[in-house]
Chain A
Amino acid sequence: MSDIVISVDNLSKKYLIGHQSAERGRYTALRDVLAFQARSFWRKAASTMRGEQLLQGDTIEEFWALKDVSFEVKQGEVVGIIGRNGAGKSTLLKVLSRITEPTTGKVRLRGRVTSLLEVGTGFHLELTGRENIFLNGAILGLTRAEIKQRFDEIVAFAEIEAFLDTPVKRYSSGMYVRLAFAVAAHLDPDILIVDEVLAVGDAEFQKKCLGKMDETARAGRTVLFVSHDLRRIGALCSRGILLNAGRIEFDAPMSSVIESYLVKQFTVSGAVDFRDRKDRTGSGDSQFQSIKLCKGGTSCGTFSIGDCFEQHIRVKVKRRIGPLVISSSIVTSDGISVYQLLSTDDGFSWSPEVGDFDIRIVTDKLLLYPGTYSIDLWMGDRNSMRVDYLPQAISFTVMQETNSVVDRELDRSSGVILQDAKWSCSGASDLEDVPAVTVSKRLV
């Protein structure tokens, strides 16, 4: 009993969200606008009197970011929390780190808790590296004496000795992140709560951070860790908790949690209808209606390396404006554009009449590293003026199967695209041409 350090009991957290209802667009006459403003002012005044939260918009929705979450963590356990965006991971960590109060439920924490929801919280750009170490340390709960004691270690870890007395605003972003993580890595708490902070810095530094995290875990500390990076979280954590829509869906050894999460993704995406999307930009003469990703004719959201990759895009042409150019860009989960498929590049010219059309883009072999990617859709006229643009139209996952084209584990730190190449070897002397060894991946 006594070795339970975190116990969460029926934890729920509610948020109120205001919506700007679509109806608002209809208020065009001055009288209607005034009436609307008066109503919304009245509501704001009333909620001010009652001491409630002010909400923008005219409809209010209750939103349970967490609902009846219960779990226990024993001393020394390293627990990974995964889930889709908006599943409540960050809210859970915020409640556990006392930043926000739960609506109902109870949490017991035993020992010194340090939470790291962001690297470099409170760094001040005008201050020097040395000053920021003290500032950040104090913010994260270290006393002055403790910081002094660890100062040299922190500086060595961050590799910034030469720039200690330079204002942080002159630092490169890599140095900044290294310094920030170095302070965080030397906190030495009983319970460590970490949110997505490892996705920073260059590969070498990331490795160092992971090592430090591992060390923390092995020293008998309890770690709660949220990440999107399944590989990393799988390597670090022994136990996993899968959150979905604010509830715990699965609480088991990490590997089986990851598996069920991936299966879940599989069924979730694959086809998206965006007729309701409000964040599109462009003239709107034609609009993207939906997208479906297919593998060999069947709809699917998870692909293996080397799979045939088909995009079925439905476009509604509302007005005839001559030739249309369509582009589909693949973007990594950290926002890096991998490549863009542009209809004119592939010699596809298209001047549609008014009506609905299905565009099909087929890539024979998907040569991407494992990870999650999203697709940005863009449509323009012959002068490249934007007709319709939808960022993050759909996302999909690329997995590496055990019988994959390459044997080693593909890690994002070493690339994004799997390039096909032929390797050969010939002797050094011109006479002896040895074309015997010509090899390549089994891609083509």
Chain B
Amino acid sequence: MTQELIIEPGRADSNYWRDLWRYRELFQVLAWRDVSVRYKQTVIGAAWALIRPFLTMIIFTVIFGKLAKLPSDGKTPYALMVFAGMLPWSFFSTALSDASNSLIGNANLVSKVYFPRLIVPVAAVMVAFVDFLISFALMIVLMVWYRFLPDIRIVLLPVFVIIAFMSSLGLGIWITALNVKYRDFRYVIPFLMQLGVYVSPVGFSSSIVPEKWRLLYSLNPLVGVIDGFRWCLLGGQTPLYLPGLALSLGVILFFLWLGIRQFRRMEKSFADLI
């Protein structure tokens, strides 16, 4: 029996998730395409994924650690602490800006071929994840340089990687969907990323935030993620602030839900709007 396909306005596709699974190869191919194209015709290639976070780390260490003399997490070298925060942050910011432009960048695909549109922003987040893995290698080099041995907590790192992934994905697909209709987001995102690096505890430890503001501060989903990364990698010099983590996680899940909902609601009109 051949499958029957019914096209109707407003039809809630019961096969949506199955379709998404069926198109997983397209997802792989798109992600692979973006990865292999990313550093084509550049001289130093993938080294860009190392140089950018590395230079940012040096600058933050000098400004926040040396000039402003902010305290580090316990006895951790300041540079290491900054880099442990930079890892999830640069993943998040790259993923978010790439994802939010992904549908518009693939406008020719969207207007000519059918496939579950969700593939496109997810593939963009995947590409950012490859950059993340490259910078993670640099983190290991830095730890060897500082002779810093992480303890058993590092086994929990994958959990926080997944949380970081979810936070980029949720916000990413929400903005992707809106960006197709309202191109204003194209200007909002770079600005938001510029602010975010100072609002989130990237260049400093979140322990310097006064206790009574900690919970409010954790509304920023990145606070939970960055704290988690530091806790895992740097051997828990500062204990994990659990209510904050829970709140961050809640915000992340909310955005994931909102993103998917918004995306699915707008998905069918993308080809008309793009």
Is A110 a contact of B113 with CB atoms below 8 Å? no
CB contact between A135 and one of B5, B29, B108, B272 (< 8 Å): that residue:
B29
Q: Are B7 and A106 in contact (CB under 8 A)?
A: yes
Query: Are A117 and B112 closer than 8 Å at their CB atoms?
Result: yes
Bound: A89/B10 CA distance, A: 22
Contacts of B181 in A (CB 8 A): 53-54
Task: Among A111, A126, A138, point to the contact of B2 (Cβ < 8 A).
Answer: A111
Produce 1/0 per residue, B161-204, CB < 8 A to A: 00000000000000000000110000000000000000000000
A101 and B108 alpha carbons, distance in the complex (Å): 17
B-contact bits for A123-141, CB 8 A (1 contact / 0 none): 0101100010011001111
Q: Assess whether A305 is interfacial by the CB under 8 Å rule.
A: no
The answer to the question of B54 belonging to the interface, with a C-beta cut-off of 8 Å to chain A, is no
Output the least CB separation between A184 and chain B (Å): 11
B271 CB–A CB distance under 8 Å: yes
Cα A292 to Cα B106 with chains together (Å)? 44
A144 within 8 A of partner (CB): yes
| Residue B273 is within 8 A (CB to CB) of chain A in the complex | yes
Binds A, one of B32-40, B218-226, B246-254: B32-40
Are B5 and A109 in contact, with the CB atoms below 8 A?
yes
Which residues in B have their C-beta under 8 angstroms from that of A95? 7
* A115 and B114 within 8 A (CB): yes
Give the total of A residues in contact with B, Cβ under 8 Å: 42
* Contact between chains at B113 and A109 (CB < 8 Å): no
| Cα distance A144–B26 in the bound complex, in angstroms | 9
Any B CB within 8 A of the CB of A107: yes
The residues in B between 97 and 111 inclusive whose CB is less than 8 angstroms from any CB of A are 106, 108-111
Return chain A residues, CB-CB under 8 Å to B29: 134-135, 138-139
How many contacting A-B pairs (Cβ < 8 A)? 104
Contacts of B25 in A (CB 8 A): 138, 143-144
A102 interface hit (Cβ, 8 Å): yes
| Chain A hits for B8, CB < 8 A | 102, 105-107
B residues contacting the other copy or chain, number (CB 8 A): 35
B55 within 8 A of A: no
Please, which residue of chain B has its CB at the minimum distance from the CB of A111? Answer: B2
Contact across chains for A110 and B7 when beta carbons are under 8 A apart: no
User: Could you tell me the distance between the alpha carbons of A260 and B141 in the complex, rounded to whole angstroms?
Assistant: 76
Q: A48-B182, A113-B5, A131-B36 are in contact. Are A122 and B269 (CB under 8 A)?
A: no
Contacts of B2 in A (CB 8 A): 110-112, 190
| A109–B114 CA distance with the chains assembled, in angstroms | 14
Given contacts A108-B4, A127-B36, contact A54 B182 (CB under 8 A): yes
Q: How far is the CB of A352 from chain B (nearest CB, A)?
A: 48
Q: Measured between C-beta atoms, what is the minimum distance from A131 to chain B in Å?
A: 7
**B3 located at the interface, meaning its Cβ lies under 8 Å from any Cβ of chain A in the complex:** yes
The reply on A94 being an interface residue by CB < 8 A is yes
Distance from B158 Cβ to chain A, minimum over Cβ atoms (Å): 28
The smallest C-beta distance from A164 to any residue of chain B, in angstroms, reads 16
Q: Which residues of B contact A104 (CB under 8 A)?
A: 9
CB distance from B154 to the nearest CB of A (A): 35
What would 13 A/B residue contacts be, using CB atoms closer than 8 Å? A94-B271, A100-B268, A101-B268, A105-B8, A106-B8, A108-B7, A110-B3, A110-B4, A112-B2, A115-B114, A124-B37, A138-B30, A139-B26
The 6 closest A-B pairs by CB, nearest first: A98-B114, A107-B7, A138-B29, A101-B268, A109-B5, A100-B271
Binding site for A on B (CB under 8 A): 2-10, 25-26, 28-30, 33, 36-37, 40-41, 106, 108-115, 181-182, 268-269, 271-273
